[in-house]
Structure 1
Amino acid sequence: MGHVSVIGCGNMGSALVRGLSRTGTHTITACDVDQQVLDEIEVHCETTTTDLATAAESPIVFVVVKPDLTAAIVEDLDLSSDQTLISIAAGVPTTVLEARTDADVVRLMPNLAAATGDMAAAVSAETLTDEVADLLEDVGVFVEIDETEMHVSTAVNGSGPAFVYYFIGAMIQAGVDGGLSRDDATVLAAQTFKGAAETVLQSDASIDDLIDDVCSPKGTTIEGMGVLRESTADEALMAAVAAAERRSEELARGVEHE
């Protein structure tokens, strides 16, 4: 596929490195100021470096640093018009970065499941190229959205894994409280979420119809669903997504006022 650089190898950057590496079709340069971080992912890379200039040599360059550092890093990279810059910075508009580089700018909101090839991502449709699309398909699935929808995407698929982990944790604890070992409860709960998610992706049925498929009259599932439907669990989850979306909007206003 070609040479790719990942600048910033914390949790998300490392996930991208690992996900791209597992395909065996990319040569990867990883760049970070922390040598220990680079040592941990060295096996997945052709090159590790603390030098931005070295990372800037790749045709495609991911910038995976904190939003308040992104614009300055992009400016320091001095990329050319035949290169592509992919930014994952929450709240940093494409226009802010385009003013600081000659490269084509693609805005992406991925998540940590890129490490296993199961990433859910949103990418700005206005700037997506076939080359970038092929690259993203190697680490998961993506949807093309208008850049104005990036705030809610940041909340749904960017922050979303943490919300899912929270609910998996609750189901694990329920299993443990009922007498299962923690290891067994973890396998059963996590695989249940995984299987249910795959069913949603592969089925044309609505969520309500899928729930009804599991519920038998006077059975165990319908009893549990009665508790959920009388609770505010759905409202709490939607509120969490809304809070994350608001924070993305706040970050954007901070960048635009700099």
Structure 2
Amino acid sequence: MTAIDADPDALEAVEAYSTTTTTDLAAAGESDVVVLAVKPDVVATVLDELDLSADQTLVTVAAGVSRSFVADRTDATVVRVMPNLAAETGDMAAAVTRDGLSEDVRELLATVGEYAVIDEALMDVSTAVNGSGPAFVFYLIGAMKAAGMEGGLDPEQAETLAAQTFKGAAETVLRDERSVDELIDAVCSPNGTTIEGMEVLWDSDVEDRIVEAVGAAERRSAEIAEAFDDE
């Protein structure tokens, strides 16, 4: 894997994960798959200097930049991806556009987590769910940690139990054929502790607030995309 960046400090930060690092953008012409991971405001500038051929694939992860904007500026096949923070640990959730998706890109995404293939029209809501989603989950983990500490656990104990519980529950959802509601029922015993807690959640508006949070992030994603297209 070759890492390319104009900033030597940025290259130094990824040196341990790369076969080669360089400031020479022409090196991208030697790769079958090129990942464009830059801020939206410099996408056009980089594409103007990036000389790719029709037999290459360009994966863009620039938020708010449409696939067509990139495709109009390169001969390569373009795929748009919205990854998230957990790519660092191999637990990424990513949304990837159906158009342009190749087996090479599928293999690349699979090495760092799970992905869902979507129509690009759904990229804003996908950005809200999986791109912004880690922050929402961190918030919920923090709330469970606080509850554990209030009950007497020390901060490290409470954080470990809360975070690992989220991790285990997420793995169960991904691997188990039962629905989320069926999994909740499986944990809830009649007159048990879980059903008591779930009654509080069911009687609250917490689900509505989560839906509102995702909706707010989705709207902001659409606003950013619209502003970029208008420039």
Aligned partners of 2:93 and 2:115 also within 8 Å: yes
Kindly report which structure 2 residues correspond to 1:86-101, keeping only aligned pairs within 5 A, or say none.
86-101=59-74
Aligned match of 1:245 in 208, 218, 225? 218
The equivalent of 1:255 in structure 2 is 228
Is there any run of 5+ residues in structure 1 with no aligned partner, and where? 1-27
Q: 2:187 aligns with which of 183, 189, 214?
A: 214
Residue matched to 1:132? 105
Give the CA RMSD over aligned residues.
1.5
- Structure 1 residue aligned with 2:37: 64
SS of the residue corresponding to residue 2 of structure 2 reads: strand
What number of residue pairs does the alignment pair up?
231
Does residue 154 in structure 1 map to residue 130 in structure 2?
A: no
Written as runs of structure 1 = structure 2, the 5 A alignment for 1:184-199 is 184-199=157-172
Determine whether 1:30 maps to 2:3.
Answer: yes
> Is contact 2:40–2:63 with CA below 8 Å preserved after alignment?
yes
Cross-structure match for 2:114: 141
CA contact (8 A) 1:31 1:50 kept: yes
Paired position in structure 2 for 1:9? none
1:62 Cα shift? 0.7
Q: TM-score, normalised by structure 2?
A: 0.93
1:122, distance to aligned residue in structure 2 (A): 1.3
Unaligned runs of 5+ in 2: none
User: Of 120, 142, 147, which residue of structure 1 is paired with 2:93?
Assistant: 120
Return the alpha-carbon distance in structure 2 between the equivalents of residues 73 and 157 of structure 1: 26
Which letter maps to 2:36? V
| Offset from partner CA, 1:178-210 (integer Å, 9 cap, x none) | 111111111111110011111111222222221
Which runs of 4 or more aligned residues in structure 1 lie more than 6 Å from their structure 2 counterparts after TM superposition?
Answer: none
For 2:36 and 2:189, locate their aligned partners in 1 and report how far apart those are by CA, in whole Å: 50
AA in 1 matched with 2:138: Y
Instruction: Kindly state the Cα deviation for residue 30 of structure 1 after the two structures are TM-superposed.
Output: 1.7
How far, CA to CA, are the matches of 2:148 and 2:11 in structure 1? 39
Task: Please name the residue that 2:138 is paired with.
Answer: 165
Please tell me whether the aligned partners of residues 90 and 151 of structure 1 are also in contact (alpha carbons under 8 angstroms). Answer: no
The alignment's TM-score, normalised by the length of structure 1, stands at 0.84
